[in-house]
Amino acid sequence: MSILRTANFVFHGALQDFRPDSERNLPVQLTFQPGQTCKHLVESLGAPHTEIAQVRVNGEVVDFSYQVRDGDQVEVYPPGPGQLWESDPARLRFVLDNHLGKLAVYLRMLGFDAVYRNDFDDQALAEICQEQGRILLTRDRRLLMRSQVQRGYWLRSKTPRLQVIEVARRYGLQAHIRPFDRCMGCNTPLQPVKKEDILHRLQPLTRLYFDDYSICPGCERIYWKGSHYQRMSGFIEELKANF
Ligand SMILES: [Zn+2]
């Protein structure tokens, strides 16, 4: 028969967001069966591994596979101030959970590669993360606890406009924005297209006032710098002021 073990857990900084309100800033004493990994125990207390930058046990840095022992002091840290989750802009590729369609449009509008469909199940999302090295954005913390999901973020807000600000701050997106570079409908990078090649698809006034067009090779949607473009530019400036 096994004897139960007890360890203390302390969650620092933004990791408090995963603790019940009544227990914020309090250490947690956890009793458990022997042979449990650090990942399992920390996640059982609510914080997905994707949110954690470092774990220290009795002052020493350990990895998630560490088996927690009786009497351990476990300290769990988010990244330090100014420390980025992703320093390589080429790795800023996202996949979004089913409920985040609007956020996907905003990220694409800013030029970021954001895969989204409203019918991916949890397994499909986790596989896309693993196979394509994408960052999973979700409001479902259980999904982030899957081992296949190496990189991801639990959105605090339910409001798309605030969500895009959260993502921008977490991943330092400000420096890498390329507005109107990507199709907002299907995520494909846009290509310039000659006006005469698409003339038959343009409304008379559009044809009259605009000469520069882009087309999406994925869904054939046409883009030009009309009134919607002006509105979105204003929106982007407003967002950037908050990044
Ligand atoms: Zn498209």
Task: Give the distance (Å) from ligand 1 centre to CA of residue 192.
Answer: 13
3 state SS for the chain:
CCCCEEEEEEECHHHHHHCCHHHCCCCEEEEECCCCEHHHHHHHCCCCHHHCCEEEECCEEECCCCECCCCCEEEEECCCCCCCCCCCHHHCEEEECCCCHHHHHHHHHCCCEEEECCCCCHHHHHHHHHHHCCEEEECCHHHHCCCCCCCEEECCCCCHHHHHHHHHHHHCHHHHCCCCCECCCCCCECEEECHHHHHHHCCHHHHHHCCCEEECCCCCCEEECCHHHHHHHHHHHHHHCCC
How confident is the model at residue 84, as a pLDDT? 77
Q: What is the pLDDT of residues 46-84, one digit of tens each?
A: 999 999 999 999 999 999 999 999 999 999 999 877 777
Q: What is the pLDDT of residues 204-216, one digit of tens each?
A: 999 999 999 999 9
Task: Give the distance (Å) from ligand 1 centre to CA of residue 238.
Answer: 25
How confident is the model at residue 39, as a pLDDT? 97
Task: Give the distance (Å) from ligand 1 centre to CA of residue 219.
Answer: 4
Task: Give the distance (Å) from ligand 1 centre to CA of residue 111.
Answer: 13
Task: Give the distance (Å) from ligand 1 centre to CA of residue 187.
Answer: 6
The pLDDT of residue 133 is above 90:
yes
Task: Give the distance (Å) from ligand 1 centre to CA of residue 134.
Answer: 20
Rounded CA separation 219/85 (Å): 33
The span from the first CA to the last CA of the chain, in angstroms, equals 54
Least confident of 85-89, 102-106, 150-154: 85-89
* pLDDT band of 1, cuts 50, 70, 90: low
pTM score of the predicted model? 0.92
* pLDDT band of 85, cuts 50, 70, 90: confident
Domain spans of the chain, in order of start: 5-77, 89-176
Task: Give the distance (Å) from ligand 1 centre to CA of residue 104.
Answer: 13
Task: Give the distance (Å) from ligand 1 centre to CA of residue 5.
Answer: 55
How confident is the model at residue 90, as a pLDDT? 80
Q: State the average pLDDT for the chain.
A: 94
Pick the CATH number of 5-77 from 3.40.50.300, 3.90.1150.10, 3.40.50.2300, 3.10.20.30: 3.10.20.30
Task: Give the distance (Å) from ligand 1 centre to CA of residue 114.
Answer: 12
Task: Give the distance (Å) from ligand 1 centre to CA of residue 223.
Answer: 10
Per the DSSP assignment, residues forming a β-bridge with 62 are: 55
